[in-house]
């Protein structure tokens, strides 16, 4: 009976980590695909130029794959060191996620202020040499969210030193439409538009967060249970 429980636990751990590993492969694949197909599509931030969607997905996918691989190997071999390493890494990530969420809500106003300031600073690099990624990112955001500038369409006036906006701010896109009458431009601030979109999808985001947390908790439970079982077996045969 006990042996059957151990086998069920082992197979459950292997299956769980196999799904974990496959999920990491999928995220890594999407990141690589974005990196290859989108080319210079980068970040809106001027201070964190490497913080692109592709790079984030590649980093997250790699970490998940490594942890999933550790869990699978630890479960198959019933190796205490590997199971303990898997548990510690997963616990560390879980704690960091909780702390990040707490700090985000505590310092939300300061984060908003810093983000808006950094995004406005990034506008100065729009259309300049070597910043094709940032330029493309702003064009996509303004087109998709039907907005203009960070906090106001007038943010672009300081960039161009004229009453002008990028063509992606236009209600109907055409070459040099950003030079036309302001009545033909989007005027909604992009920062608020993106925040509104996140609030509209808040339920989906929380469901995703809860599913992620539940997956991590199951991984912690499985790994520690197998670790304790391995200790009992080793003590029994000692």
What is residue 82's predicted lDDT score, i.e. its pLDDT? 87
- Break the chain into its structural domains and give their ranges: 1-237
Tokens of 234: 């080793």
Q: What is the pTM of this model?
A: 0.76
Residues ≥6 apart with Cβ < 8 Å to 12 = 222
**Cβ atoms of 191 and 115 closer than 8 Å:** yes
Q: State the Cα–Cα distance between residues 164 and 175, nearest whole angstrom.
A: 13
Cα maximum dimension of the chain: 85
pLDDT bucket at 235, cuts 50 / 70 / 90: low
The string of pLDDT tens digits covering residues 97-122 is 899 889 988 998 898 899 899 889 88
Tokens of 120: 């406005």
What is residue 238's predicted lDDT score, i.e. its pLDDT? 52
What is residue 47's predicted lDDT score, i.e. its pLDDT? 61
The string of pLDDT tens digits covering residues 189-222 is 999 998 999 889 888 888 888 888 888 888 888 8
Residue 68, class by beta-carbon neighbours within 10 Å (0-12 exposed, 13-18 middle, 19+ buried)?
buried
Q: State the Cα–Cα distance between residues 77 and 221, nearest whole angstrom.
A: 18
């Amino acid at each position: 009976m006990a042996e059957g429980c151990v086998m069920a636990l082992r197979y459950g751990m292997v299956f769980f980590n196999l799904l974990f590993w496959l999920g990491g492969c999928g995220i890594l694949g999407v990141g690589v695909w974005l990196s290859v197909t989108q080319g210079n599509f980068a970040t809106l931030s001027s201070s964190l130029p490497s913080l692109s969607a592709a790079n984030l997905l590649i980093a997250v996918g790699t970490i998940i794959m490594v942890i999933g691989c550790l869990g699978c190997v630890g479960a198959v071999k019933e190796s205490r060191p590997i199971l303990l390493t898997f548990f510690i890494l997963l616990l560390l990530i879980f704690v960091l996620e909780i702390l990040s969420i707490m700090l985000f809500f505590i310092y939300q106003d300061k984060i908003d202020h810093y983000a808006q300031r950094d995004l406005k600073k990034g506008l100065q690099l729009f259309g300049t040499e070597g910043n094709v990624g940032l330029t493309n990112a702003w064009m996509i955001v303004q087109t998709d969210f039907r907005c203009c500038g960070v906090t106001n369409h007038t943010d672009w006036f300081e960039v161009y030193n004229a009453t002008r906006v990028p063509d992606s701010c236009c209600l109907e896109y055409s070459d040099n439409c950003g030079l036309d009458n302001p009545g033909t431009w989007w005027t909604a601030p992009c920062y608020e538009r993106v925040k509104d979109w996140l609030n509209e999808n808040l339920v989906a985001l929380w469901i995703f967060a809860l599913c992620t947390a539940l997956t991590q908790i199951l991984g912690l439970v499985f790994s520690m249970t197998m670790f304790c079982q391995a200790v009992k077996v080793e003590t029994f045969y000692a």
